[in-house]
């Protein structure tokens, strides 16, 4: 029996990989509900390794490019790619983005109108990353919890984990050396006036934005990246910047209903890549940063392999 602390993205994905390999698993989650205290709650749900590599280590591509396939076994994944656009004044940003990324196709205004009719006439050039995908993060987390339970994993809610567990996936609460919080602020909007079908990134030197369609006219707009441990609600400045950028993307957002705003802390290591580290007989899986849905599958598989070989080793001794 493998015990896991934390039923967030890292804990559930690891449980799934372990259970698939026939290992009995029990997860302890301090919160009363799946995902209610998880950083994944505030995620966009982008499976966009090629876009992310613009500012992240190349490893996000090799580790993240099969994530969409992995998630498709568990939840609804929309595989329509990412469209990256910039206002005419900031077309240099688009050039810079194109220089630093691969796997994209240049689009002119008419191609953009075909891809996203809602954006027709608004942008004259863009980049289409057609291999990328997105999902609805909260639905995905709930579906993942159901999938692991179907595999026989026991999830205990509302109870902190015992002092010693095999796998610790408690995010920023793990208090690991070098782990730091990166605050993110986001909003969920309901905008019936527009029909965006894929993730849109709006490049801007100061207020970059992404919009992820979560279905039923709901859009997640995000997200700020602030080196802070503050857990208070989003600031007016952050929200006005996000909303102004959303309005620049499409004036239809002006009439959108603000369904929710929120702020979460992403756990990150200094290289902004996740880590699996052993400490006192416990494996720590942490540091998913802004790449939770993208990198959790690959690291969960590695965590399962390590735990299985460690357990086998322990039985031999």
Stretch that binds another protein, among 10-18, 117-125, 157-165, 224-232 (CB under 8 A): 224-232
CB environment 60-74: b (16+ within 10 A), e (fewer): bbebbbebbebbeeb
Should residue 179 be labelled a site residue for another protein when binding is judged by CB under 8 A? yes
Do residues 219 and 252 touch, judged by C-beta distance below 8 A? no
Among 205, 215, 251, 281, binds another protein (CB under 8 A): 205
Cβ 203 to another protein, closest distance in Å? 12
Stretch that binds another protein, among 58-66, 72-80, 116-124, 270-278 (CB under 8 A): 270-278
In whole angstroms, how far apart are CA 212 and each of 45, 188, 273? 7, 9, 23
Should residue 206 be labelled a site residue for another protein when binding is judged by CB under 8 A? yes
Q: Is 160 helix (H, G, I), strand (E, B) or coil?
A: coil
Should residue 290 be labelled a site residue for another protein when binding is judged by CB under 8 A? no
Cβ 196 to another protein, closest distance in Å? 27
Question: Which is nearer to another protein, 102 or 230 (by Cβ)?
Answer: 230
Tokens of 160: 């902190």
Among 20, 26, 30, 55, binds another protein (CB under 8 A): 55
Count of residues interacting with another protein (CB under 8 A): 22
Question: Which is nearer to another protein, 28 or 299 (by Cβ)?
Answer: 299
DSSP for 276-290 reads EEEETTEEEEE--TT
Should residue 261 be labelled a site residue for another protein when binding is judged by CB under 8 A? no
Among 22, 227, 280, 317, binds another protein (CB under 8 A): 227
Should residue 56 be labelled a site residue for another protein when binding is judged by CB under 8 A? yes
Should residue 121 be labelled a site residue for another protein when binding is judged by CB under 8 A? no
Among 270, 313, 315, 317, binds another protein (CB under 8 A): 270
Question: Which is nearer to another protein, 5 or 273 (by Cβ)?
Answer: 273
Should residue 57 be labelled a site residue for another protein when binding is judged by CB under 8 A? yes
Should residue 118 be labelled a site residue for another protein when binding is judged by CB under 8 A? no
Do residues 267 and 9 touch, judged by C-beta distance below 8 A? no
Question: Nearest CA to 296 among 23, 115, 66?
Answer: 66
Question: Which is nearer to another protein, 32 or 271 (by Cβ)?
Answer: 271
Question: Which is nearer to another protein, 120 or 230 (by Cβ)?
Answer: 230
CA–CA dist 158, 162 (Å, integer): 13
Should residue 183 be labelled a site residue for another protein when binding is judged by CB under 8 A? yes
Should residue 39 be labelled a site residue for another protein when binding is judged by CB under 8 A? no
Among 180, 201, 290, 291, binds another protein (CB under 8 A): 180
CB atoms < 10 A from the CB of 282, how many?
A: 15
Helix or strand run (H / E) with residue 69 = helix 67-72
CA–CA dist 225, 173 (Å, integer): 19
Do residues 64 and 294 touch, judged by C-beta distance below 8 A? yes
CB environment 10-19: b (16+ within 10 A), e (fewer): bbbbbbbbbb
CB atoms < 10 A from the CB of 99, how many?
A: 8
Site residues for another protein per CB under 8 A: 55-57, 96, 99-100, 179-181, 183, 205-206, 226-230, 232, 235, 270-272
């Amino acid at each position: 029996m493998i015990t896991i602390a934390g039923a967030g993205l890292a804990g559930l994905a690891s449980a799934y990989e372990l259970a698939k390999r026939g290992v009995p698993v029990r997860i302890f989650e301090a919160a009363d509900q799946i995902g209610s205290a998880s950083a994944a709650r505030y995620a966009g749900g982008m499976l966009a390794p090629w876009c992310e590599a613009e500012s992240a280590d190349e490893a996000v591509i090799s580790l993240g490019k099969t994530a969409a396939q992995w998630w498709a076994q568990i939840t609804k994944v929309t595989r329509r790619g990412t469209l990256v656009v910039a206002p005419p004044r900031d077309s240099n940003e688009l050039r810079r983005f194109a220089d630093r990324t691969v796997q994209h196709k240049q689009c002119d205004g008419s191609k953009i109108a075909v891809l996203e009719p809602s954006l027709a006439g608004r942008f004259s050039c863009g980049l289409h990353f057609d291999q990328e995908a997105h999902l609805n993060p909260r639905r995905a987390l709930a579906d993942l919890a159901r999938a692991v339970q179907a595999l026989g994993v026991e999830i205990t809610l509302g109870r902190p984990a015992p002092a010693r567990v095999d796998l610790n996936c408690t995010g920023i609460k793990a208090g690991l050396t070098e782990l730091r919080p990166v605050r993110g602020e986001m909003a969920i909007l309901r905008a019936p006036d527009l029909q965006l079908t894929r993730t849109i990134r709006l490049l801007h030197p100061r207020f970059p934005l992404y919009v992820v369609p979560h279905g039923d006219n709901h859009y997640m707009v995000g997200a700020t990246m602030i080196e802070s441990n503050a857990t208070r609600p989003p600031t007016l400045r952050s929200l006005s910047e996000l909303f102004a950028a959303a309005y620049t993307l499409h004036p239809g957002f002006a009439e959108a209903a603000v369904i929710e705003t929120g702020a979460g802390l992403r756990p990150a290591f200094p290289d902004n890549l996740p880590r699996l580290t052993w400490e006192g007989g416990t494996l720590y899986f942490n540091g998913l940063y802004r790449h939770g849905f993208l990198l959790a599958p690959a690291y969960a598989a590695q965590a399962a392999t390590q735990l299985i070989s460690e357990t086998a080793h322990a039985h031999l001794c």
